[in-house]
Structure formats: C-alpha cells, structure tokens
Amino acid sequence: MKLPICVLGLFGLSLVCKAAEGPAEEFASRTYFYTGGMLPKPELLTELISHQDSMRMSLNTVFAGQIYVEKLIPHNPVQKYPLIFVPGAGQTSTNFLNTPDGRKGWASYFLTKGFTVYLIDPPQRGRSPYVPGSEGTIGLVPVLSVEQIFTAPEKFPNITTAYPQASLHTQWPGTGVRGDPIFDQFYASQVQLQLDPNISDRLMKNALNALMDKVGANVLITHSQAGPYGWIAGDSRPDLVKGIVSVEPEGPPFVQLPGRAGRPRIDGVTRLPLLYDPPVTNITRDLKLVQFPPPVGKEGLYVPCTLQASPPRKLVNLSKVPVALVTGEASYHAPYEYCTVGYFKQTGVEVTWLDLGRLGVKGNGHFSFLEKNNLDVADLVLDWIQRNVR
C-alpha cells in the first residue's frame, strides 16, 4: 500500500495531498566533504563572542570560504564524466534533489542515466557556513521578489508590462504565491547570500577549482548567479571542464539592465578577468563595446545588446569548452539571453542555445528544473551532453 504525500503550507493552514508514485529521489551511495576555504586574516574579522562572555573564539582558528559537497553515486555508474551542480543566488543543493511538490529532481534523473553527481552549497550559505563578522554582508531575497520574478510573474501587471513573455508562464506547480503549500515549501528553502558579488565570485572560484582538482574531469551544470562561476571554472580549468550547461546565467553581457540590482559583468559574462586573445590589460581601453538593436520583429520583446566592436577578442580557454544555455520562454531572461549567445559566438565559444519555447517546451520561468515539465527540460540537457561532451 502506498501512502499519500502531503505538503503543509507555511503562510497558511492549507494542506495538499497526492497519491505516492514511488520514491521522489533515486537511491544512490552518498558521501560528503568540503573543499576550498582558508583561515582568514585577523583584520577581516571582528571578535566573535558566544552567548557567554567567557566563551571566546580565537580569530586565528576560524575557517571560512569553504563549500559543502555531496557526492551521489548511482547503482550503475556508466557515464564517463560526473556532473557538478552549482545553484544560484540564495539557493542550495536542495534545488536539484526533489521538487517543492515532491516530484523527482534533476539529481535523481541524471543518477538514473548513470551519472555520478556532485551537489554543492556555495560559500557562506547553507551547509557552507557564513562566519559572523567576516567580510561582506549577507541578505535574503524577500518573498514578494520571489513571487514576482520566479514563481508567478504572470500574476503581476508590473512584471508583464516590463517583459510581455511573463504572461506565458504556466509551469510552476501550484499558484506560485504565499499561502500555497508548494510555494511555501520553496520559499522555506531560500537561504542567505553574500550581497557583494565580488566576494562570492572570488570565494567560489577558489572552492570550485579545488573541487575540480579533487574529482577530475567533469560537466558543470549552473543556474543563474552561478553562471559566472561556471565561466570562471572553464577559464581556469579548461582541461577538466568538459562541458557547461548554464540554466539562465547572469546577464546580459557587460551591462546591468535598468532597475536590476548588482554589479555588471565588466569582463563580458563575469566580473573576474577571463583570458582573451589579444590579451586584455585594461578593460575600459581594450574591450571596445557597441550596442546592437534587437532583431527585426523582436522590438518590445528583446532588449538591445552590448557586445564587442569588430574585430572582437576571442576567449582563449573557454573556447575549448562546449557550452549550452537553457532559457525558459516566460523567464525574465527571455528578453536578453540572445545577447549572451551572441557574446559567446563573438568570442569563439561553441555555444548551443536551448531556447525551450522554440524547442516545444512551453511555459517555463527561471526555475525550469523545479517546474512541472522539469524532466522534459532534463531530456534536452541529456541529449546535448551526449552529443557535445567528449
């Protein structure tokens, strides 16, 4: 007898139950470890005092900047390269386990295909602890922002006015707003994040490079804020990164759109330097930029692109790594993802645009790997890996 699965809301007393359809997660051998991190310089820390004044922590014994890594090995590991999943801002590795409504997630999907999977919590969040008093400031994404940007953009006129594609959003399970038990489960999973992207970029580069040095050749699967982490990893370790699947990476290139928070990616798709040919020694002087209008017929749907003037500099290391970009047709990335595709084509990177709507996978927002058709999206990712990763 299979018992029902029930989900209780946080913002209300609603309860949703459904018949169990088997385990939401694939069985696998599980271990964990940490990579990266260091003993920080004392001047970066304030004195840490516990609830009792007599319990003081010595500044030179605090470890910070490490990442938690969970390794899952399937019963029949037949794939040549493991997958490393890197979640976006305010997220943890739970994104890739089961979905908020209890369905199978991408980790289990790829385990069934014979991949060994590594799941990480980026520095200063989740099981990769933030050290109170250390560098930077942490914050949390407000519930309204999650509703408007991620789970229910179609319900907010200010969002559908900002980009009309939002009205196409149909794939989030449940209503996507507070009080719905599925949304409440998702919002409960949101954690703190480092508000200074320069700090998070630097910490993540060190920790992810250490992970790749430990596990060897791999395929990276990144989401949103983690997009630049993947580009830096491919630039730093082009012989180890055999492919990058980036689900809606930070963008667009070089600039920040009006009304968006955060620092622009001044090196193109990153804030940290990438290796260009000819070399870039001064970003402002060497990277000549021009703005291109949207394609004919896409005015009002696409934004202008800021890209390199001709002849563009090429990416020395990233051009050795095949890249796939995954974009939902109803996501806030829809108006500008083509700019990121254009940037990679300019710089000599072998890029495939998995533009879901045009591939017949309809209605997705920013979290396609959690939405109702998440396994349809995973099928496309698997097909790309099989065709392009060598």
Question: Catalytic amino acids?
Answer: 224
CA separation, residue 35 to residues 94, 156, 355 (Å): 18, 41, 34
Cα–Cα distance measured from residue 68 to residue 31, given in angstroms and rounded to the nearest whole number: 11
Sign of CA dihedral 305, 308, 312, 318: negative
277: helix, coil or strand? strand
Backbone angles phi, psi at 194, to 5 degrees: -70, 125
Tokens of 51: 């609830």
Tokens of 268: 């193109």
288: helix, coil or strand? coil
Cα–Cα distance measured from residue 66 to residue 79, given in angstroms and rounded to the nearest whole number: 28
Smallest CA-to-CA distance from 70 within 91, 81, 84 is with: 84
Question: Looking up tokens 């703190």, which residue turns up?
Answer: 192
Instruction: Please name the residues in contact with 136: beta carbons below 8 A apart, sequence gap of 6 or more.
Output: 124, 194, 195, 196, 199, 200
Q: CB of 254 within 8 A of CB of 286?
A: no
